Amino acid sequence: MKQSSTERLRELEELVDSCREPLFRFAFFRLGSRMDAEDVVQDAFLKWASGPERPVGHPRAYLFRMVSNDCYDRIRRRTTLVPLDGHQPLPDEPLEEHEAHEEARRIETLLDRLPPEQAEAIRLHTYASLRFTEIAEVLRCPVSTVKSRFGGGIAKLRKTLNL
């Protein structure tokens, strides 16, 4: 059944209000860049606005899947140039932004050591504050699988960090 443009606009407004921050956090920690995260989230909302006219069963999960896919695509396209002395703050970059970037990089380095399925479950739960049932919708797998991936990933991180 087709949605009217008014219904679709109202649904988009509700999604932006409820999902913008969790989507941004998820993308930021995945990409390590505020600008890239903002672009990915904006692109997801634009795709949603111009997307299929039929209603989507789980709009929040659909948006997280779009953001996740776009993050993977951007990471794959990046060239891997490593500065000799690490990321240096740009002249106009606030210190907090630089520290957040460094923290995101450290966390992603740890998560990159995990199997991708475990890392993604942890990202969605931690950065996006999604419940396991919502993560199951995003990843299209049973809730028990999500819980297993999350628990296994956390156990591996603890072991890595000697906690």
**CA dist 89 to 31, 43, 93, 115, Å?**
17, 27, 6, 31
- What CATH number should be reported for the domain holding residue 15? 1.20.140.160
Q: Categorize the per-residue pLDDT at 93 as very low, low, confident or very high, splitting at 50, 70 and 90.
A: low
Is residue 32 domain-resident? yes
Is residue 70 domain-resident? yes
Q: Is the pLDDT of residue 115 over 80?
A: yes
Q: How many domains does the chain have?
A: 1
Is residue 54 domain-resident? yes
Is residue 87 domain-resident? no
**CA dist 50 to 1, 10, 110, Å?**
17, 14, 36
Cα–Cα distance measured from residue 115 to residue 137, given in angstroms and rounded to the nearest whole number: 19
Average pLDDT for 117-136: 90
Is residue 29 domain-resident? yes
69-89: pLDDT as tens digits: 898 888 888 755 444 445 554
Average pLDDT for 130-134: 91
Please tell me the least confidently modeled range out of 62-71, 99-108, 132-141.
Answer: 99-108
- What integer pLDDT is reported at residue 18 of this predicted model? 86
- What integer pLDDT is reported at residue 103 of this predicted model? 76
Is residue 38 domain-resident? yes
Is residue 99 domain-resident? yes
Cα–Cα distance measured from residue 29 to residue 91, given in angstroms and rounded to the nearest whole number: 22
Is residue 89 domain-resident? no
Of the two residues 68 and 53, the one the predictor is more confident about is 68
Which residue segment(s) compose the domain that 23 sits in? 5-78+94-161
Label each residue of the chain as H, E or C: CCCCHHHHHHHHHHHHHHHHHHHHHHHHHHHCCHHHHHHHHHHHHHHHHCCCCCCCCCHHHHHHHHHHHHHHHHHHHCCCCCCCCCCCCCCCCCHHHHHHHHHHHHHHHHHCCCCHHHHHHHHHHHCCCCCHHHHHHHHCCCHHHHHHHHHHHHHHHHHHHCC
Cα–Cα distance measured from residue 133 to residue 145, given in angstroms and rounded to the nearest whole number: 10
